[in-house]
């Protein structure tokens, strides 16, 4: 009898860091902070249309949306972004009503160039208004069907490098082009990424927190199989959705030992979800870690007025800035969770509502995801589990054609 097995074990931080350094040359997103963005900026500055329609789904829209929704309420952009993500017919037609199609610039984004939702939306919009090189750009992989279509029609194309996965593509043209068109400062976005990148790979400020967090999540993945991100600003609602894709699609994998992995992301918004999900965190089973995100400075001094004295019992909020109230609500919830003493909890504070800070946060989450993937010994960058449904769909619909 012969038996040999190398059971999966959690590696040392040093080994993981070495693997991370090896990834830099293989995985494309690490290079994006240092890319040349002159072509994006120059093209963006020439777009005159008021409405910018982004036709894309998943990694082709979530990251752009995260940054845009974080910034748009406190910036008076003259242009607006509109997202065509779904095959839901009622939403498709409703979204079109928000546009003046003759004053719309279309950005078609699909890495593979054959995403069903994207192509069907593109075809439909193209049947309503002529879409050509005067009002369209495409972002796709080299030699995809969309790439060839764009070339044939002389439509400007931006390339998604093969080694940049959809959910890691926000800092490529996928995110930077629409954001630059709308007026976002994309240099500051890349500066935020660079800061985080260098800090981690030079083992400075952000190195230890990321390594420790990743290690804790992996060592306790069976006990705490749910990771809650509790963001204390509605500006971060789309960021939460981007996080859910990044986390779920990167870490929901079978590992080197054949074991299905366990980390499940949940996004919450404070204080709204204090009135929804918080009860479950406090009194439910201890199966969750909780990460709070706070915004340090909203640059907004709106105050709760000292009025309506007849409504007694809430005098302590009178005259308070809403931003202080929000911060104290976050602090109180954090304290209530910490005092339970059996809910793992950490707090990220971002300094301001600007390009630099949201980019830093997102790049930090990308690196955290990569580190956890290394610890789990999975392929962080593929998504084999979603292919089977696509094959069934093609099979179903192709049969319909024959019948």
- List binders of a second copy among 239-268 (CB under 8 A): 241, 244-245, 248-249, 251-254, 260-264, 266
* Residues 6 or more apart whose Cβ sits within 8 Å of residue 346: 213, 289, 290, 291, 292
CA 272, CA 172: separation in Å to the nearest integer? 33
What angle in degrees, to the nearest 10, is found between the helix axes of 116-128 and 89-97? Answer: 50
- Give 226's Cβ-side CA count (13 Å radius): 14
Among 2, 5, 154, 285, binds a second copy (CB under 8 A): 285
Nearer to a second copy, 249 or 355 (CB): 249
Edge-to-edge strands, sheet with 104-110: 80-84, 51-55, 104-110, 136-140, 156-159
Can 275 be counted among the known catalytic residues? yes
338 near 217, Cβ under 8 Å? no
Provide the minimum distance between the beta carbon of 176 and a second copy in the complex, in angstroms, as a whole number. Answer: 20
Can 219 be counted among the known catalytic residues? no
Among 106, 217, 298, 356, binds a second copy (CB under 8 A): 298
Cross-strand bridge partners of residue 140: 110, 159
Task: Spot the catalytic one: 133, 153, 390, 394.
Answer: 390
The distance from CA 401 to its chain's CA centroid, rounded to whole angstroms, is 37
Site membership for a second copy, residue 277 (CB under 8 A): yes
Task: Spot the catalytic one: 97, 222, 275, 399.
Answer: 275
Site membership for a second copy, residue 275 (CB under 8 A): yes
Nearer to a second copy, 201 or 216 (CB): 216
Structure tokens at 163: 């080694």
Task: Spot the catalytic one: 85, 117, 195, 249.
Answer: 249
Write the interaction track for a second copy spanning residues 139-158; mark x where CB under 8 A is met and - where it is not: ------xx-xx--x------
Among 59, 165, 175, 192, binds a second copy (CB under 8 A): 59
Site membership for a second copy, residue 6 (CB under 8 A): no
The distance from CA 311 to its chain's CA centroid, rounded to whole angstroms, is 42
**φ, ψ for residue 84, nearest 5 deg:** -105, 100
Site membership for a second copy, residue 339 (CB under 8 A): yes
Q: Which of residues 352-391 bind a second copy (CB under 8 A)?
A: 353, 383-386, 388-390
Q: Which of residues 178-237 bind a second copy (CB under 8 A)?
A: 225-226, 233-235
Cis amide leading into 271 (omega within 30)? yes
Site membership for a second copy, residue 297 (CB under 8 A): no
CA 243, CA 235: separation in Å to the nearest integer? 14
Q: If we measure between CA atoms, which residue out of 211, 246, 213, 243 comes closest to residue 230?
A: 243
Q: Which of residues 61-120 bind a second copy (CB under 8 A)?
A: 62, 73-74, 85-94, 113-114, 116-117, 119-120
Among 26, 36, 78, 400, binds a second copy (CB under 8 A): 400
Nearer to a second copy, 256 or 386 (CB): 386
CA 396, CA 403: separation in Å to the nearest integer? 11
Query: Judged by CB under 8 A, which stretch of 29-37, 45-53, 178-186, 270-278 contacts a second copy?
Result: 270-278
Active-site residue list: 249, 275, 390
């Amino acid at each position: 009898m012969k038996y040999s097995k190398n059971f999966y074990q959690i590696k040392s931080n040093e080994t993981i860091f070495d693997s991370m350094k090896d990834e830099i040359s293989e995985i494309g997103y690490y290079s994006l902070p240092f890319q040349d963005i002159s072509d994006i900026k120059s093209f963006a500055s020439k777009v005159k249309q008021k409405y910018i329609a982004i036709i894309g789904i998943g990694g082709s829209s979530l990251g752009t949306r995260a940054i845009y929704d974080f910034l748009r309420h406190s910036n008076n952009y003259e242009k607006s972004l509109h997202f065509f993500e779904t095959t839901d017919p009622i939403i498709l037609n409703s979204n079109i009503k928000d546009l003046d199609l003759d004053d719309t610039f279309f950005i078609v984004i699909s890495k593979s160039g054959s995403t069903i939702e994207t192509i069907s939306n593109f075809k439909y919009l193209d049947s309503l208004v002529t879409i050509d090189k005067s009002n369209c750009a495409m972002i796709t992989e080299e030699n995809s069907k969309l790439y060839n279509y764009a070339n044939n029609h002389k439509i400007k194309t931006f390339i998604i490098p093969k080694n940049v996965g959809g959910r890691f593509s926000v800092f490529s043209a996928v995110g930077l082009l629409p954001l630059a068109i709308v007026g976002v400062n994309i240099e500051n976005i890349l500066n935020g990424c660079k800061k985080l990148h260098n800090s981690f790979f030079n083992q400075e400020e952000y190195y230890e927190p990321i390594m420790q967090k990743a290690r804790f999540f992996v060592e306790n993945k069976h006990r705490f199989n749910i990771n809650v991100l509790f963001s204390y600003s509605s500006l971060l609602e789309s960021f939460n959705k981007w996080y859910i894709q990044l986390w779920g699609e990167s870490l929901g994998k079978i590992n080197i030992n054949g074991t299905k992995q366990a980390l499940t992301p949940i996004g919450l918004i404070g204080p709204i979800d204090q009135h929804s999900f918080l009860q479950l965190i406090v009194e439910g089973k201890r199966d969750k870690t909780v990460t709070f995100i706070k915004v340090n400075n909203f640059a907004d001094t709106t105050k709760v007025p000292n009025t309506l004295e007849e409504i007694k019992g809430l005098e302590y909020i009178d005259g308070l800035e809403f931003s202080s109230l929000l911060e104290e609500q976050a602090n109180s919830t954090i304290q209530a969770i910490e005092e339970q003493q059996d809910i793992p909890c950490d707090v990220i504070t971002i300094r301001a509502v600007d390009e630099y800070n949201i980019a830093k946060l997102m790049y930090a989450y990308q690196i955290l995801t990569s580190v956890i993937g290394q610890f789990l010994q999975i392929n962080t960058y593929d998504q084999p589990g979603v292919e089977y449904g696509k094959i069934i769909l093609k099979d179903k619909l192709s049969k319909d054609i024959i019948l």
